[in-house]
Amino acid sequence: MTELRTDRLLLRPWRASDLAPWAAMNADPEVREHLGEPLTREQSDASVAAFRADFDRRGYGWWAVEVRDTGEFIGFAGLDEVEDGLPFTGVEIGWRLARPSWGRGYATEAARAVLAHGFDTLALPEILAVTTAANLRSQAVMRRLGMTRNPADDFDDPTAPEGPLRPNVLFRIAREG
């Protein structure tokens, strides 16, 4: 599995030692505000098993993100196929960091490396990003990356319950330009 390096971060394969801090993040209501119910330890561990299997199967997916200076695991960033049932298909970029690691530019820094990998190594023609209309922090990352939103692409996530998780926005960035 390819590792990606930035000035401050290492995007690397998942380790057993990531499972506990990953589960702690996924149990944090603030981290989960725009994602849905907090995950149990079992669900959180299962997500890592799925990330590893996805990476092995198709050569890309969700990397574990660590701070190079300290070796601290702080969350994930990566690429995934858009889930079935949405009104578009493609590959999406995403990120999720533990609360103490917000507000330091880490998500944008990790995402720039992921975008470069997606365009330069995987030769994707376009990369998408999806979040709830209410998740302004995540949309700010999308804008910092140069991604753009066409309001005509806004959609209701049919898999989300009625309420704030349902209205979603779609951002795009093309390899060319």
Ligand X SMILES: CC(C)(COP(=O)(O)OP(=O)(O)OC[C@H]1O[C@@H](n2cnc3c(N)ncnc32)[C@H](O)[C@@H]1OP(=O)(O)O)[C@@H](O)C(=O)NCCC(=O)NCCS
Q: Interface with ligand X includes 26 (CB under 6 A)?
A: no
Q: Which residues lie closer than 8 Å to 156 by C-beta, 6 or more apart? A: 166, 167, 168
Name the phi and psi angles at 73, rounded to 5.
Answer: -75, 130
* 8 Å CB contact between 117 and 99: no
Q: Interface with ligand X includes 6 (CB under 6 A)?
A: no
Please select the residue that binds ligand X; options are 141, 147, 165, 169, rule is CB under 6 A.
141
Q: Interface with ligand X includes 149 (CB under 6 A)?
A: no
Q: How far apart are CA 104 and CA 163, in angstroms?
A: 30
Q: How far apart are CA 49 and CA 43, in angstroms?
A: 10
Residues 43-73 as b/e (b if ≥16 CB within 10 A, e otherwise) read ebbebbeebeebbeeeebbbbbbbeeeeeeb
Stretch that binds ligand X, among 38-46, 58-66, 90-98, 148-156 (CB under 6 A): 90-98
Shortest Å, Cβ 25 to ligand X: 8
Q: Interface with ligand X includes 11 (CB under 6 A)?
A: no
Q: Interface with ligand X includes 36 (CB under 6 A)?
A: no
In the bound state, the residue with its beta carbon closest to ligand X is 105
> How many residues interact with ligand X (rule CB under 6 A)?
20
Binding site for ligand X (CB under 6 A): 31, 34-35, 94-97, 102-108, 131, 135, 137-138, 141, 144
